[in-house]
Structure 1
Amino acid sequence: VWQSDGALNGITEVLRSGATWEAKSNAAATVFSLTGVVAFRKRLGRKTRVVSGLVELAKCGPEGAKRDALAAILNLASDRETVARLVESGAVQMTAEIMTGMPEEAVTILEAVVKRGGLVAVAAAFMGIKKLGKVLREGSERARESAAATLVTMCRKGGSEIVTELAAIHGVERVIWELMAVGSVRGRRKAATLLRILRRWAAGLDGGETEGFSTTNASSVSASTTVVVPTTTSSAQ
């Protein structure tokens, strides 16, 4: 039955226009189940209405519906082509909006999107750096690990502008030291990398760790996504 476009279109309509939150949540749960199959994941990821519907549900739905939508989004974020549509649909902005209430889910998705979304995703995530810093300080072990991994990717791809924003967070170096001492194995490794990036930036040696981005890289980000791009091009380019 799921081989037919009619069935997929029906799911999309319920996801977008279902009469109740429960109906929309069930549609999101169905999408999540289907995205467990690679062929369906790619097929659904090409449907802009599915992607935008999931992002909207994750932003505005009740908690249960949010979780179903976020689970589906995380599956879709494993496909690089789909990540571009997620960024265009405002997924990065969505993670920033829900990060206070659902930090683990938000940061896990942001990590996947930034990892596969290139410089456009990094630019879109620029305003979320301070929130990531808060998760790094106060989140669960898993959330702190994902926050550290996301910040490492952003610093490496975004260049000195991103590192400067991170360094401006009060007490961030102490927080990183704490994660190096008590975090998971991966969390400690990412924290050590993050500290090295900050130290190299402070010494004016960031070129070996970062790539950098400019306004040109971020020009294609949809207006639905919050984007703050530094006006100067990173010296690391």
Structure 2
Amino acid sequence: MGHKPCAQLKTCGRREWLTASDPDALTQVLPVVYDFGLGREVLYTTKLALFELLRTRSLRLFWRIGGDESQSGSPAMDSRLDISGDESKVFELIEDLKRNSTDVQRAATAELRLLARHRENRMVIANCGAISLLVGLLHSTDPKTQENAVTALLNLSLSDNKIAIANAYAIDPLIHVLKTGNPEAQENSAATLLSLSVTEENKLQIGRSGAIGPLVELLANGTLRGKKDAVSALYNLSTSRENKVRIVQAGAMSHLVELMNPATGMVDKAVAVLANLATIPEGRNAIGQNGGIFVLVEVVELGSARGKENAAAALLQMCKNSGRFCSLVLQEGAVPPLVALSQFGTPRAKEKARALLNCFQNQGYLHSGRSTFKKKAPEAIKEIKKFAQNAMGTTDVRVDVKLNKHIWSRGIRSVPRRVRVRIARKRNDEEDAKEELYSLVTVSEVPSEGFKGLGTKMSR
């Protein structure tokens, strides 16, 4: 069989390849794949375009798209991915890793990367001695070879190879990739460190090797996937006390607080790290200095069940024996969501919420000024309503029920800065003829001078 299909493949646009929008091109190249397997001929000829496609799709789906349906599930095809009974294939690739040829190394790492995705192949690859060679190629000056090597190690680490990879002195080279690799290599390096950090021995070694700084940098400036891998790795590392201090000292707190924006999709991960860091004085101070109290109270009120648990745990750690933090947490309006959590949360969340409320009560905060405050509450609501009318340019407003309840129930002396004026206005829905209330959020925050009805200024 000739290479003409591969030559024609070169003319097929990358977008068509990645989306499989040109089935004819796929059909023509597949016989070459069948003939040569996933060997160097195909990888060289297509300049790794084929490998890129295989990396993002399973081979079975790939064959179903372009191959003969009768062959798509054949044992012959599946055997090309199962090398458990054929170590010679791995030894051949290992010899290629040793060659002083960038093209050969790139192709060999690409194939090992793909083979290592399959659990049955991982021990074969490890037992044949590939790990140390892959670790060495983490310092490759060829970005693609480096990316392939780190991804192969990531795949190998998903089975019982974590200690073997660490014993091959992989941690320092992984940190090198974390600092210097392309975005995908950095992501996969962080994911590998995450995988390795499952064991206590590796966890300490990773922290002592200087990985935390680059992980925090990825947390700040990486891709979305990179940030997710970084925050997950930091969570694993943060279960060790000495790593907690390193994470705080590396400046992670401000980035963790930023990730607690629901739009990131990483609130639960970030809150879990904060809950661990809140167990040390440095962590508690950093949370307070970086606006963490505000977002933790938000999570207690609006987060997921797991997020609420960890947020309440973090706030409890902060408020134990600290009147200053108790005051700051109360100023953010924590009592109503904590009361709700103590009644309707998970068992762990209930425990943390009740302990935190008891903490407030024992330190004399819950009853401080309550009667005076309730006398001022009606005037405060009038002030808020007036402010909202001016901001919205209409008189057809009334104070949001939630905010109204918030003002009446807290028993503290200031409107928390986290409360933006949320207003409910009546609307008639013509479809079902029901009168509904809907909330509007103004772009303006509560005035810095506070509301006269409360007789106090805002805490900033």
1:25-80 per-position Cα deviation (integer Å, ceiling 9, x unaligned): 100011011111221111111122x1011111122222211111111111111111
Q: How does 1:172-183 map to 2 (within 5 A)?
A: 172-183=334-345
SS at structure 2 position matched to 1:125: helix
Match of 1:13 among 165, 176, 191: 176
Match of 1:147 among 305, 311, 314: 311
What is the distance in 1 between the residues matched to 2:247 and 2:274?
Answer: 10
After TM superposition, the runs of 4+ consecutive aligned structure 1 residues lying more than 4 A away are none
What is the distance in 1 between the residues matched to 2:366 and 2:231?
Answer: 39
Structure showing greater radius of gyration is 2
- Match of 2:234, as an amino acid? I
What is the distance in 1 between the residues matched to 2:358 and 2:292?
Answer: 21
Match of 1:124 among 276, 286, 290: 286
Q: Which residue of 2 aligns with 1:99?
A: 260
What is the distance in 1 between the residues matched to 2:220 and 2:361?
Answer: 36
- 1:203 is displaced (CA, Å) by 5.0
- Match of 1:31, as an amino acid? L
- Match of 1:92, as an amino acid? M
What is the distance in 1 between the residues matched to 2:363 and 2:222?
Answer: 41
2:302 aligned with 1:138: yes
Asked whether the equivalents of residues 175 and 189 of structure 2 are also in contact (C-alpha less than 8 Å), the reply is: yes
1:79-136 per-position Cα deviation (integer Å, ceiling 9, x unaligned): 1111111110012222111111321111001101222xx2111111113101111111
2:330 aligned with 1:162: no
Asked whether the equivalents of residues 15 and 24 of structure 1 are also in contact (C-alpha less than 8 Å), the reply is: yes
What is the distance in 1 between the residues matched to 2:202 and 2:272?
Answer: 22
Q: Do the aligned partners of residues 204 and 131 (structure 1) sit closer, same or farther apart at CA in structure 2, a change above 3 Å counting? A: closer
Q: Which runs of 5+ in 1 are unaligned?
A: 206-237
What is the distance in 2 between the residues matched to 1:87 and 1:4?
Answer: 29
Q: Which residue of 2 aligns with 1:234?
A: none
What is the distance in 2 between the residues matched to 1:156 and 1:91?
Answer: 23
Q: Kindly tell me the number of residue pairs found equivalent between the two proteins.
A: 198
2:65 aligned with 1:65: no
SS at structure 2 position matched to 1:99: coil
- 1:178 is displaced (CA, Å) by 0.7
- Match of 1:38, as an amino acid? E
Asked whether the equivalents of residues 32 and 72 of structure 1 are also in contact (C-alpha less than 8 Å), the reply is: yes
Query: Normalising by structure 1, what TM-score?
Result: 0.79
1:179-232 per-position Cα deviation (integer Å, ceiling 9, x unaligned): 011110000010001111122233599xxxxxxxxxxxxxxxxxxxxxxxxxxx
1:125-168 per-position Cα deviation (integer Å, ceiling 9, x unaligned): 113101111111110010011000000001115x1110010011
Alignment identity in percent?
A: 30
What is the distance in 2 between the residues matched to 1:190 and 1:204?
Answer: 17
- Match of 1:122, as an amino acid? R
What is the distance in 1 between the residues matched to 2:188 and 2:330?
Answer: 42
What is the distance in 2 between the residues matched to 1:84 and 1:64?
Answer: 25
Q: Do the aligned partners of residues 176 and 203 (structure 1) sit closer, same or farther apart at CA in structure 2, a change above 3 Å counting? A: closer
Q: Which residue of 2 aligns with 1:76?
A: 237
- Match of 1:53, as an amino acid? P
Aligned CA-pair RMSD: 1.7
SS at structure 2 position matched to 1:202: coil
Asked whether the equivalents of residues 15 and 23 of structure 1 are also in contact (C-alpha less than 8 Å), the reply is: yes
- Comparing both structures, which one devotes a greater share of its residues to strand? 2
Q: Do the aligned partners of residues 64 and 204 (structure 1) sit closer, same or farther apart at CA in structure 2, a change above 3 Å counting? A: closer
